[in-house]
Structure 1
Amino acid sequence: MRKYIFFVLLFCTTSVAAQYKTLYDFSAPTIDGDTLHFSSLKGKKVLIVNTASECMLTPQYEKLQELYEEYGGDDFEIVAFPCNDFGKQEPGDNETIKTFCTQYHISFTLMEKIAIKDNPPPVYRWLMNSEENGTLDAKVWWNFQKFMIDEEGKVVDFVRPTKSPLCDKIINWLNE
């Protein structure tokens, strides 16, 4: 009987350990100081991107807004995390960043400025680590790396920083 109980406990422990987190397990502060509970995005595809105001890729803000205007709403959300880690190209504070983004008429979710390299916030540790997300390991290479999250809150893939938010990989994913 003891062996039976041991194996049942071992099986249950192993099953629990194999369960990976989803996006819905996280929350983070928005640029306005509110808290975004990612569970509020259940049922939506989500594109998470680290951004910077002084990067040669900064015009991607315009493309992100175009993508959001085309697909955003009930089925899709963009969540942007300003970050100064790559080339020190986001030196401003949250208010400066928010003001800068007005020129692109941003209507998608803009988060509080973060650091990714030395101490990534929990949601970015999850995005980059297959042991947490169950899908992939993905180092963030530069500003404007885009992570694709499905309607169940699972990491699907990522798109390198130099690829446009309007690239075929993202558009095809959104149209699936």
Structure 2
Amino acid sequence: MSVHQFSAKLSNGQVKDLSDYHGKVLLIVNTATKCGLKNQFNGLQQLYDDFKDQGLIVLGFPSNQFLNQEPGDDDQIQQTCQLNFGVDFPLFSKIKVNGKDAHPLYQYLTKEASGILGGAIKWNFTKFLIDRKGEIIKRYAPTTEPEEMVEDIKALL
């Protein structure tokens, strides 16, 4: 299996097959615009700007499962990310990342890359680095700053 077997709805309502990203390096992140870690949007956008021409795509998956830190609808989230953080990497429709109603992509990610404390996503801005074949290479803690991932990203590009 790989992440390329999944699809998800973009914030504009269009369904996106992740197989469209075959051959790209992906950084999949669950986001929240009201989280204390929200300044990571700036670093994620910087990674995207620095490496998109070499094949990196950052994919943002808003989730409201952690202390109601993403209460807005998809349009509000998109506007906040663009206006406050200059985000132009793909943002998806708000999803659940934990529990029985978790998006199938996140069920797969948390099963295959369980993390230090077990499978569940512990907080906003948990990151998964995916290689060009769609395989999970590494899971990063929410507190891992985007710039700390540069060498791992470069190694895959």
Alignment of 1:48 with 2:19, yes or no, is no
Write the distance in 2 (CA, Å) between the matches of 1:38 and 1:63: 23
Indicate whether 1:127 and 2:105 are aligned: no
- Which residue of the other structure, out of 14, 19, 24, is the alignment partner of 1:34? 14
The corresponding residue for 1:171 is 150
User: Percent of counterpart pairs with the same letter?
Assistant: 33
SS at match of 2:37: coil
The equivalent of 1:146 in structure 2 is 127
- Structure 1 match to 2:62: 82
One-letter code of the match for 2:114? Answer: D
Report 1 or 2 for greater relative contact order, CA contacts < 8 Å, sequence distance ≥ 6. Answer: 2
Where in structure 1 are there 5+ consecutive unaligned residues? 1-20, 131-135
Deviation readout 1:39-66 (Å, 9 max, x if unpaired): 1111111000000011110011111111
What RMSD, in angstroms, separates the aligned Cα atoms of the two structures? 1.1
TM-score by length of 1: 0.81
CA deviation digits over 1:113-153, x for unaligned, max 9? 011223111111110113xxxxx323211000100101110
Superposition TM-score, scaled by structure 2 size? 0.91
Work out which of the two has the higher radius of gyration on C-alpha atoms and give 1 or 2: 1
Query: How many positions carry a matched residue from both structures?
Result: 149
- Opposite residue 150 of structure 1, the aligned amino acid is D
Residues 83-114 of structure 1: per-residue CA shift (max 9 Å, x gap): 00011100111111111111211111100001
Q: Which runs of 4+ in 1 moved over 6 A?
A: none
